Amino acid sequence: MAKPSCFVVGPIGEEGSDIRKRSDDLLTYIIKDVLESAPFNMQVDRADEMPKPGLIPTQVIERVVNADLVVADLADLKNPNVFYELALRHAVRKPVVHLLLVGHKLPFDVSAQRTIYYQTTDLSSAAKAKADLKKHVEAVLANPESADNPISAALGVLDLLESKDAREQGLGRILQELTDLRGEVRQLQPSGTTSATPLGAALRAANLGMPATEQQRKFMESGGRWFEAFTPPPLSFTPPPLFCANCREPIGLLDSVQRSSDGALIHRRCPPPAPPPTGTPSTSAS
């Protein structure tokens, strides 16, 4: 029985270059170490390891389309071949795992995709990347039909917009507007993420960051009622407790008045403070 296949796409570099050394270390000590072992027992290869002579681009495309799993190293953002191959894999909507070198930043188009960060020069970072890779591959292989990415999401929206069902057309327009909104919000965030801002928290609460398939499910379950499906729950705020400036007991705003001397809140029932005694003999030494 043939082993399941994994094809690795990413920068390879010239023999002896720093890029080649990093790519080889990633392939050998992280990707192969995880995927060629149990429970996956995969046959892992890269373009430069293909044994058959012939047209390399044709063989690469065949692997990208037909492999059971593709692992994409996105460390070299200036490498057009990597993103061409990644887009092809996204288009066929099959399992793919994204890797990125620590300290690098994903481009906008794939910034929403779950990404495993790795570092080949640090043992603890490499160990964490291996653990993350194992978990992610287990998840994507357990349900390969659920692979969601920018291309599959866009095609799903186009299918809805072209549907003859008015309800599906309406859902398609909503999802299209959501996609545009998410893009505009990301452009406003210097870090490339909305998670660290109040606006980002509101968007997450409104479920704008969920995959398009999940948005469709949520919308359908609500009976096509947009407000119920996507409106975030109301924000709650508990003000800090207030205390009476006279008796130091808790005080409510409806049970308070301002003290005439300094404007501090006091209970309505609290007597005003006694005036200081007059004519008190001086305690200073004569």
Q: Cα-flanking dihedrals φ and ψ of residue 183, to 5°?
A: -65, -40
What pLDDT, on the 0 to 100 scale, is given for residue 213?
53
90 and 171: one domain? no
In this structure, is residue 281 part of a structural domain?
no
25 and 37, same domain (yes or no): yes
Does residue 105 fall inside a structural domain? yes
Q: Span 96-118, mean pLDDT?
A: 80
| Range(s) of the domain holding residue 114 | 5-146
**Across residues 162-181, what is the average pLDDT?**
72
pLDDT in tens, 253-277: 677 888 877 778 888 888 766 666 6
Residue 280 counted as domain residue: no
Q: Are residues 164 and 87 in the same domain?
A: no
DSSP 63-98: HHHH-SEEEEE---TT-HHHHHHHHHHHHHT--EEE
What helix, strand, coil percent values describe the chain, rounded to 5? 45, 10, 45
Say if residue 55 is in the same domain as residue 113: yes
Nearest to 172 by CA among 162, 155, 181, 160: 160
Sign, Cα dihedral of 83, 89, 93, 98: negative
What band does 171 get if pLDDT is binned at 50, 70 and 90?
Answer: confident
CA angle at residue 175 from 172 to 176, to 5 degrees? 85
Q: Do 141 and 41 fall into the same domain?
A: yes
Looking at the fold, whether 202 and 115 belong to one and the same domain comes out as no
Which of the residue ranges 97-101, 165-169, 181-185 would you say has the lowest mean pLDDT?
Answer: 181-185
- What CATH number does residue 117 fall under? 3.40.50.450
Q: Are residues 32 and 136 both part of a single domain?
A: yes
pLDDT at 40: 95
> For residue 40, which of 147, 124, 115, 133 has the smallest C-alpha distance?
133
Q: In this structure, is residue 279 part of a structural domain?
A: no
Tell whether 167 is covered by a domain: yes
Does residue 172 form part of some domain? yes
User: Does residue 74 contact residue 82 with C-beta atoms inside 8 Å?
Assistant: yes
Structural domains in the chain (count):
3
Average pLDDT over residues 164-186: 68
Distance CA 143, CA 88 (A): 20
50 pLDDT exceeds 80? no
Q: What is the pLDDT of residue 242?
A: 80
Q: 146, 162, 185 — which closes off a domain?
A: 146
Residues 62 and 177 in one domain: no
**79 Cα distance to chain centroid:** 24
Percent of the chain with pLDDT over 70: 61
pLDDT on residue 186: 53
Centroid of chain to Cα 272: 58
Give the range with max mean pLDDT: 48-57, 131-140, 199-208. 131-140
Task: Say whether pLDDT at 243 is over 90.
Answer: no
Please tell me whether residues 115 and 193 are part of one structural domain: no
Same domain, 59 and 154: no
Q: Is the dihedral of CA 13, 53, 49, 10 positive or negative?
A: positive
- Euclidean distance between CA atoms 69 and 58, whole angstroms: 18
Instruction: Check if the beta carbon of residue 87 is closer than 8 Å to that of residue 109.
Output: no
Is the same domain home to 84 and 210? Answer: no
C-alpha distances in Å from residue 130, one per residue of 19, 29, 99, 125: 20, 9, 11, 9
Residue 282 located in a structural domain: no
* Portion of the chain with pLDDT greater than 90, in percent: 25
Task: State whether 46 and 178 are in the same domain.
Answer: no
Least Cα distance to 114 among 89, 149, 145 occurs for 149
| Largest CA-CA distance found in the chain, in angstroms, rounded | 113
The answer to the question of residue 283 being in a domain is: no
